Amino acid sequence: MFDLQNIKTIGRYQILKKIGQGSVGAVYLGKDPYIERQVAIKVYRLPNDTGPEEIEAYKKSFFVEAQSAGRLMHPNIVTIYDADQQQDFCYITMEYIDGSTLEKFCKPDNLLPIERVLKIIFNVCKGLEYAHQNEVIHRDIKPSNIILSLSGQVKITDFSIAYIKRGHSTLVKGLFGSPSYMSPEQVKEEFITERNDLFSLGSVLYELLVGKKAFEGENEYSIMFKIVNDDPPPILELKPELPKTFGDILSKALAKNPSQRYQCSMDFAYDLRLALRSLKEAPKETHDSELLSYIQDLPFFNNFAESQINEILSASNLVKVEKDKTIIQEGEIDDSFYILISGQVLVQTGTEEVAVLEKGQCFGEMAYLTGEARSATIITKEECIFLKFSSTLLNGLSEAIQLLFFKNFTQTIIKRLSKGTTTKT
């Protein structure tokens, strides 16, 4: 068993306690004394029975995680802080998440609510989309590599066998990954793309919904054979109360041919959002005609056709918020934007109140358009109702609707500039 024995510090980090154990390494809870924050420290002992070349190969393999995840800064990916070598072991320090992995929620007697499962996988999609945009393929998505914090945050961790597509690749040759969650192309050691991670995520979704793995077998070889040759038991046979769309989503995510799978994480995320809506469809439909009529009268939607507004309602969230609640926080990174259906909101930069927005106005559109951090805080002055959108949802709408949104965003920005309002939320 790996143990640091009497070592009390690693680099500048104080060791508090062991929180994870492996055959050749361990994870410790540590503390950065300068920044006064807790960190997780992943430690790997270098072999002492091999030559210098083999040791360098081991070090290179270990630091794959630092090189891949270290370039990624996203709310749904565990942040890497530091990596180094001390004596005969290497270490990586990273963000400490107080919570647990999804493993314990894969048991039939401890399943999460379906709505919660969809939201978790949706957030994993967002993290994977960011990683893939930065040309990092995780290659080991599984329940134990997805952390759910006590506050409900979802974090992808363990990029130790990740593949960096551009530049000097740190790809380790051979068959790597966890057999139950490998894609067919990964099992066959073929060229992999981002769609490899989406197959693995489909396997995780399947397991979270029914409490059993999509591909089971007596040993690793039988599992891998099934991944390549067999389909998993249909989800609707195991859980017939699920809407039909769940079967469609998993069939696409777990397609043997990568070209028949979701082509990017946000495609997957969009269908998850539709599935989430299907769980709530019945109680919402009684209000659709009234809501449609009401929204048509809002200035922002004057140039939208009724059919287009119907499409928008099917892909947005209607949110009610109490008085004096913060909707957007200055400095946060989020691609959501809002259209105010009723009520008023206050716009603040720092402690200064700069504007009041009313029914029919939008906010948050600048962060959506630019991808930059929020430059203002939005607080409700009274009980408000909003339509909330994200880039994922908007990108899933028809091109004509997207063009109308951008046109209206432009007009909104021009009007604010002409009035001398510098609000950019």
Q: Catalytic site residues? A: 140
Alpha helices (runs of H) in 218-264, residue ranges in sequence order: 220-229, 235-238, 244-253
* Contact between 154 and 120 (Cβ < 8 Å): yes
Cα 70 from Cα 134, distance rounded (Å): 11
Q: Where are the alpha helices (DSSP H) in 254-299?
A: 265-285, 288-296
CA angle 134, 91, 16 (to 5 degrees): 120
> Using CA atoms, how far apart are residues 267 and 10, in angstroms rounded to an integer?
42
Q: Cα(347)–Cα(58) distance, rounded to whole angstroms?
A: 53
Token pair 């099917």 in the structure block, residue: 314
Q: Are 232 and 180 in contact (CB under 8 A)?
A: no
Q: Kindly report the CA angle at 309 between 375 and 322, in degrees rounded to 5?
A: 50
Axis-axis angle for helices 114-133, 265-285 (nearest 10): 150
3-state helix/strand/coil string of 236-249: HHHCCCCCHHHHHH
Residue type, 10: I
DSSP-H helix ranges across 40-113: 52-62, 64-69
From CA 127, how far away is CA 73, in angstroms rounded? 9
Radius of gyration of the chain (CA): 24
Distance, CA of 5 to chain centre? 37
Tokens representing 271 are: 């269908």
CA 368, chain centre distance (Å): 17
